[in-house]
């Protein structure tokens, strides 16, 4: 009996260590991702993946944009890499030169040491922690890169927490509730720094063609009034329909679970429905509903 208990404990500990090791393995790959920040009128960006062999000859790039001018380094070779340092070759208008990356695991800061220049420090808050589905609709999120089985379908506008990259594919967490790991093709997604919805987004109306909607936030709840206009047929007058939705905010998504075919904000007058999701695209200030862009009325 004691022997069985000991074996069970050993198995349990080994399993824990295995899971812990896999988590740590992700934490020891700091040289992948995208960072960006503003310094005065200059926008500084770094996007790298020093762990996977590139198909286009570049492991990433460092860019500085200011007005119509810019500075760019393309990372074209990796000489050495470990948990805290990487030695690389960069290419610019000055030709091919050596540069360094350093990572501080305590502060989570990443430093880029360009040739002949002062170090550029990217803080943890500068990192893009999300991936945004930008193209297509019902995109497969797979169990492994390239050919893994589909775990779920992602909608245009949906965002996921970024965990890393494998074989050039984004490694993501499926959701805050579903902690499984999935992979998304870079063909359909890009880095997203912030997946929140600003308060100002709830003070505007949005439209695309004959469909428009307004939003109102009340505490933890969000209400949407959606209006669809129908063009007149012959001599008939224009008609419209109004739908009301109620739900909550989840990241950059408005998840509506209550619906009424009449104008109302009374949950008791609404029906419980399957989640109807509208996504916010912060960079453009647009919402994405059913795969279509809805811009704010000017």
> Is there a contact between 24 and 83 (Cβ–Cβ < 8 Å)?
no
Q: How far apart are CA 116 and CA 127, in angstroms?
A: 25
Torsion of CA 18, 82, 173, 283, to 10 degrees: 170
Place of tokens 């200011």: 66
Name the pairing type of β-strands 109-113 and 169-173.
unpaired
Maximum Cα interatomic distance, the chain, rounded to a whole number of Å: 90
Spatial separation of the C-alpha atoms in residues 33 and 22, rounded to whole Å: 19
Bridge partner residues of 18 (DSSP): none
CA–CA dist 40, 1 (Å, integer): 70
- Beta carbons within 8 Å of 76's beta carbon, 6+ residues apart: 57, 58, 59, 88, 89, 90, 91, 96
Extract the residue ranges of the chain whose pLDDT is less than 70. 1-27
What are the residues facing 260 on neighbouring strands?
Answer: 244
Q: Residue 26: its pLDDT value, please?
A: 53
For 268, the token pair is 């008791």
Q: Degrees (nearest 5) of the Cα angle 92, 95, 97?
A: 90
Residue 231, pLDDT score? 84
Total Cβ atoms within 10 A of residue 209: 9
Per-residue confidence (pLDDT) for residue 239, from 0 to 100: 87
Residue 236's pLDDT is what? 74
Per-residue pLDDT tens for 120-159? Answer: 999 999 999 999 999 878 899 999 999 999 999 999 999 9
Q: What is the pLDDT of residue 1?
A: 47
Residue 58 Cα distances to 49, 78, 119, angstroms? 9, 10, 21
* 3-state DSSP assignment of residue 272: strand
What is the DSSP track for 113-162?
E-TTS--EEE-GGGB--EEEE-SSSSEEEESSTTTPPEEEEEPTT-EEEE
> What is the predicted pLDDT for the residue at 27?
63
The torsion angles phi and psi of 16, rounded to 5 degrees, stand at -65, -45
pLDDT of residue 20: 38
């Amino acid at each position: 009996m004691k022997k069985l208990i000991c074996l069970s404990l050993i198995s349990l500990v080994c399993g824990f260590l295995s899971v812990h090791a896999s988590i740590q393995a992700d934490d020891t790959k700091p040289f992948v991702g995208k960072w960006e920040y503003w310094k005065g009128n200059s926008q500084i960006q770094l996007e790298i993946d020093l762990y996977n062999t590139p198909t286009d000859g570049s492991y990433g790039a460092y860019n500085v944009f200011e007005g119509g001018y810019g500075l760019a380094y393309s990372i074209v070779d990796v000489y050495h890499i470990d948990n805290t340092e990487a030695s690389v070759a960069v290419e610019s208008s000055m030709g091919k030169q050596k540069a360094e990356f350093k990572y501080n695991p305590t502060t989570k800061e990443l430093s880029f040491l360009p040739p002949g220049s002062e170090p550029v420090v990217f803080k943890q808050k500068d990192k893009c922690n999300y991936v945004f589905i930008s193209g297509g609709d019902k995109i497969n999120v797979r169990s492994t890169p390239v050919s893994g089985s589909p775990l779920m379908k992602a909608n245009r506008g949906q965002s996921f927490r970024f965990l890393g990259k494998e074989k050039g594919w984004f490694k993501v967490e499926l959701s805050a509730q579903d902690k499984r790991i999935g992979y998304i093709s870079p063909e359909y997604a890009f880095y997203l720094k912030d997946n929140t919805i600003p308060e100002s987004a709830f003070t505007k109306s949005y439209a695309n063609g004959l469909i428009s909607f307004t939003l109102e936030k009340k505490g933890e709840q969000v209400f949407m009034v959606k209006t669809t206009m129908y063009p007149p047929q012959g001599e008939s007058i224009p008609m419209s329909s109004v739908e009301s939705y109620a739900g909550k905010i989840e990241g950059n998504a408005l998840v509506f679970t209550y619906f009424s075919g009449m104008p109302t904000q009374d949950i008791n007058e609404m029906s419980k429905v399957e989640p109807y999701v509208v996504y916010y695209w912060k960079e453009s200030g647009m919402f994405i509903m059913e795969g279509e862009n809805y811009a704010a009325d000017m």
